[in-house]
Every structure is written in structure tokens, then in C-alpha cells.
Structure 1
Amino acid sequence: MERRASLSFDSSESGWCSESTLGSRKGAGQGGSRTELMRERFLKDQVVFYELPAEKVGDYEWDYSTQGLILSSFFWGYILTQLPGAIIGRIYSPKWLLGTGIFVTALGGAFIPLAADVGYGLVLFCRFIQGLGSGFVYPNMHALLATWVPVSERGSYISIIYGGSSLGSVLIWSSSGFISSSFLSWRFVFYLTSGVSFIWFFFWAWLIYDAPFQHPSFTDEEKALAKEFNPKPMSLENIPFLQILTSPPFLAIAVAHFGKTWGFYTIMTELPTYLAALNVNLKYNGILSSLPFFSLLVSGQAVGISADYIYRHKLLGLRRIRKTYNTLGFVLPAIVLFSIYYLGCNVPAVVLAFSMALGTMAFAYSGFEVNHIDLAPDFAGVCLGITNTVATLSGIIAPYSVGKIIHSEQTLERWNLFFLLSTIILVSTNSVYILLASAKEQRWGRMADLALTQEREPPLFVVGDLPRRFSAWLIKSESELG
């Protein structure tokens, strides 16, 4: 039996972990104590998750593969606009590129309820449009951060700004289940989020400026001082693509970005599905799914403050801070994700584990996520656009992989394969980051230094020269790496 998309799922079942449900799985007339039944549930890999009756599940007959396709379609557009959005924003206006991205994303979301009635193909298109708009956001956010925030406060500001994303997730996840179960229906969730985004765009256009020296509240002296530290005007020809793409510290960020995004989207897109498989009522599914994002919101603030404190008081060098925090943000979630399989149908423990996994990922805020600005303040948005393009591949692959692995029948063993894969990806990508990462500003990282760098060191056009340069970089001293 195919499982239908659970946009309007609301079940009064007590959950398949209950004694009555487990008893029915053993078959009518078969005995067994509750302890024996629970032991079977926890220890037997092939126990199939409770299958809800089709008439109670949802409005649309979309199997797990189709649902995975819909989830991943957002990233088809997202991957296309990362780098172009960063370049256009850096040349013209990161403020307007970021704002336009949010507006387009909201527009795509507003049409999803109508698209769903037509067919999932149109939903794929709306999600694709949302991805196109969202691709403008983070690269231009990094460009603005590089302009507005000094190095000693970057960890805190990154945590605060990314915390806004977590807060939005908490609010919408915790309320969407109740809204969907009310007379408003699940459609209103899309109208609500899009409407709030349209209102946000008005205030963004009114209040935000590309650089401190443009802000009307600054005095002439403050504007003159701020202008000295702002990125210089840039054209497409000024972007040192070759130096960026052949820089080992930058490649380390790209690999780490892929790994973290895989882990993040594993939790964000698959937790509701996992809870639904445990037969959690839709209203409570939304609340429980929001808890990991609340954990991320709280822990993110503590991480940013602690990293900046350590840096200001010179307890660790900046490179060690980046590597230490990145390791905590990758290895701890990997351990937790691997352990979820052994929690079985214990819903509170499962939610706590997901919350711990996402909460500890916040350490990466002061790891690779701010590292772009360390390496290249003038090209931070462009660098993020490149690494986020690479990372978006995981957003496409992960949901689709779940659909293929789980398909029409869910078992603990199949879910465990996916969690094990996520664990391996997190640990291996962090290992690459530890080996290659640096926090030292690169010679190509500022416009003023770029011309001197190009005169002193000809651009690398010969692929055969890559191993020599890579080896030379690896044997640099600790002090040179920063």
C-alpha cells in the first residue's frame, strides 16, 4: 500500500509503540507480555513501522519517492543562483539581492496550495522557484557581514543572524500542526509564511543599507572612518576565481559546508517523516519537530559568545578556534545520529536526540561558517556562493536518498542505513577541514592586495602545477597558517 502525503494527516491512534498496537503486530490470539513486546520492538531490525490506514493519511497519493523528489526540488533552483547572486550582489547591492531573494521565495510558497491541487509537477516548479530566490540570501548576507562586523564580533553576529532562521523554524513548526488541524487547514500555513515575508521585505527595503557610510544616522566622521574599511568597488574581472578555487583553506570550507548541510537537512526534512512513522499526531508532530530548532537557537547564541570571548582574551588562536568548534559541530551530531537507531520507538528520546544533534551543530557557526570572511573579507559573499553551491548538492541528494532507501516500507534497518551514511559524511568532511583549514587572511582576499599578488605570483593556469603548490602549502609553518 502506498503511503499518501501527510499534508492533512490527523490520527487519533495512540501510536504504534502502544501495547495494543504491538500486540496486533504479533497477530490475533498471540500472547506475550508488554516487556517481551517492547524487547521485540527495540531489538528486532525488521519490525515494520506502523502503517496508517490510507483514508487517514492525507489528501494526495504521493509515495515516499515522490515526497523526496518534492523536498529536493527546492535545491534544484537553490544551486543555480548561489554564485550568480553573490557576484551580482557584490557588484551592485547585496541588500537588494538578499531582499529580492526572500520576496521571490515567499511568492513561490504562496502558490504551493493551488499547485498541489493541480499536481505534484506544479509543486516541483513552485519549490524550484523558491530555491532560485533563496539562493540569493546567504551569499549576500555574508557580504553584508564582512562590511558591517569586525573580526572580534563575527562569531556572535553569525550566531544571532542564523538564530533568526532557527527562530522562524521554531515558530512555524510549532504552530503549523495546530493550524493544519484547525478549520484553516494546512493551506493557511503557506499563506501565513508568505505574508509575513512580504511584510518583512517592506521593512528591509526601508531600513537596511549596503554599508555603514550610507546610513543616514552616521555622522560625517563616522562615515569617513567606516568607508576606509569597506570593500572596494568590484567588477566581474576583479574576482580572483583561480586563486579561490586553488586555495586549500577554501577547499576545506567547501568540503565542510557539504557535510554540515547534509546533516542539517537530514534533520530538517526527515524528522517530521520519522515522527509520522512513529504515528505521532500531526499537531504534536509540529511541536516536536520544532524542538531541535529551539535547541539550535539557544546553543547558537552561547557558541558565538564563547568563541568571541576566547578570541578576545587570546585563550586560543583564531585557527584553533575554527577547527575546535567545527569538530564539535560535526562529531557530536554524528554520534547522536548514529545512536537514534538504538532508541527504537521511544518518541521523547528520539526528539531529544534530534535536538541534541541540531543543537551541537551550532558549534559550526564559529567554525567553517564564518571562515569565508576570515580568508577573504572583500570576496566573502562570492566564496560562500561557491561553497553553498557545492553544499546544495547534499540538499538534493539527502531527501531523495531517504525516499529511495525507505520507499514504500519503513523499517528500523533502512532508517539506520541512512543515519549511518550521515554519520560517515559528517566525520569524514570534518577530517578534511581539520587537515586543510586556516584562519589567515589570504593574499587574494582584499582588492587592494590582489593586484600585488597577481604581479608577484602569476595566475595558475597549468593544472600540472597544482600538486606542487598544494604540497608547498601543506608544509607551511604553524605561524604562517594563522
Structure 2
Amino acid sequence: MENPRRPPKVLSFCSFRYGLSFLLHLCNVITIAQNTSLSLTMVVMVNHTEPHSLTNFSANQLPADIKNPVYDWSPDIQGIILSSAFYGSLLVHIPIGYISGIYSIKKTVGSAMLLCSLLNLLIPLAANLGKTTIILCRVLQGIAQNIVATGQHEIWVRWAPPLERGRLTSISLSGFVVGPFIALLVTGLICQALGWPMVFYIFGACGCALCLPWFILVYDDPKDHPCISISEKEYITSSTIQQFSSKRQSVPIKAMLKSLPFWAISIGNLGYHWTNTTMILYSPMFINSMFDVNIRENGWLSALPYLFAWIFGILAGQMSDFFQSRNIFSLLTIRKLFTSLGLLLPALFSVCLLYLSHSFLSTIIFLILIIATQNFNTVGTFLNALDIAPRYYGFLRGVTTFLGLMGGLISSTLTGIILNQDPETSWFKVFILLSAINVGSSIFYLVFAAVEVQDWARDREQTRF
């Protein structure tokens, strides 16, 4: 097959496709910041010393500081509130993956972004109305957030030339990494200076404001964009013409489920989400158990790894496209290389954390490396679905992400059980299990991964389920 021609130098980073990637980056920063900010605001929203600090708006139950109401939520209720967005997200990955291949990505992602931001503005009111209301608000917000997260992948079928998929995807997806870093740093400052409700108002307003350039600048197809240059339009359309067909076909679900490359991507995603969920939820707890630090220092230390993860994700995108454009490695080697780095390096540094971290500095360094190196998966399993089934990329991303998130759900539950049952050796078991899952996922991916378009993803006259 003839290689697609390279873009003129004038297009590079000063082009609409990179502008689109950066806009998606900002959308992902805002949505993940809206999601993670509650984990810190919960500290000041809940009063553990006064059992009946606030249950409703009655005059005799208002707190002393009306701008910073405090609630009587037990630890199990707090856990349900924090995880409710996660459970909401499980409901939409597969449906949205399918819908994104049919309906307008611009309207789907933009509307979900607006809904998510409006719900974020309503969280302080929902908290005042009661725990059931805020749980419902968070579930709806989780659905909207994951419509944004899942639906956006389909846009690269038409906008990403094959030799630029890595960097365009890594730029946009890195927003999910830098978002927690920004949220963890800014939320504490806002709570201290303006009160915790302003956290939700500020992030919600930013999301609403971001919807304006999204609806104005984004188009589903570069052929329809009124401002894109003719040379860039011709380059993109000529490079991606074989990735999709104007004729929609039903999804061959049975054939897809029998495909080992599909399961290689799914198992790889499971390993990634196992590590990612464990570190997001429990690294602050690990730091607190190992060192005597206050909440502000814990927030800084918990945020720092995500800055490095953002850098690693951008670097991975640049490296993968460099390897592919210069024909240094084959596409299959590139996918296997970065998937292995994203799974095996966190496993290695988890073991180092257990056996080689003898000081505060070494412990923090290994925590940073565990979280940062997992982001190599951005150009590994995350992009592999576009290789094997570009026609059904949105749906395939939805299914494989759903299966991966099941690993995250299992890891969060199992880690909590381990920590509760055996406090002395619990962290050893948590990180050894994490390493084993990552090694197993990497081996499975290395054996069964593929980059060729699968037979079930090609044009055909009829499709049976």
C-alpha cells in the first residue's frame, strides 16, 4: 500500500486539526477537573465533629458560615457520592460508542459538555437539598462526562492523518491527565479564599464558556469546514479516505467478540484502568499512611505525578509518530512497544516502591513514575482500535473502554477490602497485585495484538449479528 503523502510544513502545528486537538484537550481538562474537584471539597463539606450540622434549610440548622455549609454525611455516604459519577459512566460507553458513528460528533460532545457544566453549577444547590439529590446530580454528570470522553474519539477517523494519529490523540487525551493536576492544586486555594461552592461555580462556568468556541469552530468533517485551508483539507481527506465509508453498516458483534485483537485491546485497557483507578483513589491514602503530612501537602504530592504523566503522554505521541514517519519501526511494533511501556514500567516501579523506597524522596519518585509511565498507553491500546476497525472506531472504543473500566471498578473495590482486612501487609498486596495484573495484560497484548484492518471491519454486502 502506498504511504500517504506528508503534510506541507506550513500546516504542522499551525493548523485546524491541531487546533481541534487542543480544544479537545481543554474540554477534557475541564470535564475531569469537574469530576475530581469533589474529592478535595468533600474534606470541607463534611463535619465529622458535629453529627447534625446541616440537614435542610431550616433556620435553626443553618451553619455559622452560610457561604460554606457543612453536612452530616457518614463515610459510606461520602463514598457513594464520590463514586456515583463512575457508576453513571458505565451506562454510556457502549451506547455512545455506537451513536458516535452515526450522529454528529460536534452536537453530541458539545451538548454533553454543556450539560455536564450546568450540572456542576447545580451541585451546591443539590447538596443543600440532600444526599439523594447530589447523588442523582453526580450520576447524570458522570453520564455527560463520559459522553464527552467516549464520543470524541470518532472525530479522528476523519480528522487524523495516519502519520499524525499519535500526536493528535495524545494532545487531546493528555487533558485527562493534566486536569487532575490543575483540580488538586486550584481547589484547595479556592476553598480557602472563596469557599467550597465557588469551586463548582468556577469549573462549571469555564465549561459553559468553552462550549461557545466548540460549537463555532468544530465541524465533523474537514470537507465542510469553511475556514480550513485548501491544502490542509486535501491532505487530510486524501490521507483518511480509506478509513471510512459513506455507507453505514451494522456492527458485526459476534465476529468482533471472536476477534483476539479486540480482546488484546480490552485486556490492555483493563491493565491500564486497574493501575489508573488504584493510583487516583488510593495514592493520597498511601502518602498519608507513610508520612506525616497535612492535607495541603498531601494535595501537592498527589497532584505532582499528573504533571509528569501529562509530559509523558505528549512525549509518547511525538515519539510514536516519529518512529512511524521515519519507518524506524512497524506500526505493530510501535503499538506493542508503547503498550508494554505503559503496563510493564508501572509494574516495575510498583515493585521498586515496595523494596527500594527507603526515604520520603524515593517514595515520591516511584509514585510519580508509576502514574506517569502508564500514560504511554495513549498511543498503544488507545489507538489500536482505530487500526483494526476504523469504520467502527467509536463503538470499539466504547466497548473496550467499558471492559477496561470494569477492571478499574474491581481494583477500587478489591483494594478497599485488602486495606480493611490486613493493615500491616495491605499495601504490599495492593502493589504486588497491580504488578501482576499489568504483567499479565502486557503478555496477552503482545501475543494477540494486530494492526491490520480485521475482516469483520471491512466493506461487505450484508452483516449478520
TM range (shorter): 0.7 to 0.9
Partner Cα separation in structure 2 for residue 281 and residue 290 of structure 1? 14
**2:83 paired with 1:72:** yes
- 1:82-121 matched pairs, under 5 angstroms: 82-121=93-132
- 1:242-253 matched pairs, under 5 angstroms: 242-253=254-265
One-letter amino acid matched to 1:212: P
5+ unaligned residues in a row in structure 2: which ranges? 1-38, 54-69
Per-residue deviation, 1:380: 0.8
In structure 2, the residue matched to 1:264 is: 276
Describe the shift of the 1:306–1:221 C-alpha distance in structure 2 as closer, same or farther (beyond 3 A): closer
In structure 2, the residue matched to 1:426 is: 438
Per-residue deviation, 1:424: 1.8
Contact map agreement 2:150 2:397 (CA 8 A) in 1: yes
Instruction: Give the SS at the match of 2:100.
Output: helix
Percent identity, aligned pairs only, is 28
Contact map agreement 1:72 1:396 (CA 8 A) in 2: no
Contact map agreement 2:109 2:147 (CA 8 A) in 1: yes
**Residues matched between the structures, number:** 404
**2:224 paired with 1:214:** yes
Aligned match for 1:440, one of 452, 455, 460: 452
Contact map agreement 1:170 1:291 (CA 8 A) in 2: yes
- 1:6-155 matched pairs, under 5 angstroms: 7=41, 9=43, 55=49, 65-155=76-166
In structure 2, the residue matched to 1:165 is: 176
In structure 2, the residue matched to 1:46 is: none
Contact map agreement 2:40 2:184 (CA 8 A) in 1: no
RMSD between aligned alpha carbons?
3.0
Partner Cα separation in structure 2 for residue 83 and residue 270 of structure 1? 28
Q: Over residues 159-205 of structure 1, what are the superposed CA-to-partner deviations in whole Å (9 max), with x where a residue is unaligned?
A: 1111222222222111222222x142333222222221111112111
Partner Cα separation in structure 1 for residue 103 and residue 326 of structure 2? 38
5+ unaligned residues in a row in structure 1: which ranges? 11-52, 462-482
TM-score (norm 1): 0.75
One-letter amino acid matched to 2:178: L
One-letter amino acid matched to 1:158: T
Describe the shift of the 1:343–1:363 C-alpha distance in structure 2 as closer, same or farther (beyond 3 A): same
Q: Over residues 447-478 of structure 1, what are the superposed CA-to-partner deviations in whole Å (9 max), with x where a residue is unaligned?
A: xx4216x5xxx85x7xxxxxxxxxxxxxxxxx
Bigger CA radius of gyration? 1
**2:284 paired with 1:275:** no
Which stretch has the larger CA shift, 338-347 or 397-406?
A: 338-347
In structure 2, the residue matched to 1:197 is: 207
Describe the shift of the 1:168–1:69 C-alpha distance in structure 2 as closer, same or farther (beyond 3 A): same
Aligned match for 2:383, one of 339, 359, 370: 370
- 1:282-297 matched pairs, under 5 angstroms: 282-297=295-310
Partner Cα separation in structure 1 for residue 285 and residue 157 of structure 2? 38
Partner Cα separation in structure 1 for residue 40 and residue 227 of structure 2? 50
Describe the shift of the 1:314–1:8 C-alpha distance in structure 2 as closer, same or farther (beyond 3 A): closer
Partner Cα separation in structure 2 for residue 410 and residue 187 of structure 1? 37
Partner Cα separation in structure 2 for residue 256 and residue 120 of structure 1? 36
**2:420 paired with 1:411:** no
Instruction: Give the SS at the match of 2:194.
Output: coil
Per-residue deviation, 1:289: 1.7
Instruction: Give the SS at the match of 1:103.
Output: helix
Partner Cα separation in structure 1 for residue 424 and residue 366 of structure 2? 16
Instruction: Give the SS at the match of 1:255.
Output: helix
Describe the shift of the 1:417–1:173 C-alpha distance in structure 2 as closer, same or farther (beyond 3 A): same
Per-residue deviation, 1:386: 0.7
Contact map agreement 1:66 1:403 (CA 8 A) in 2: no
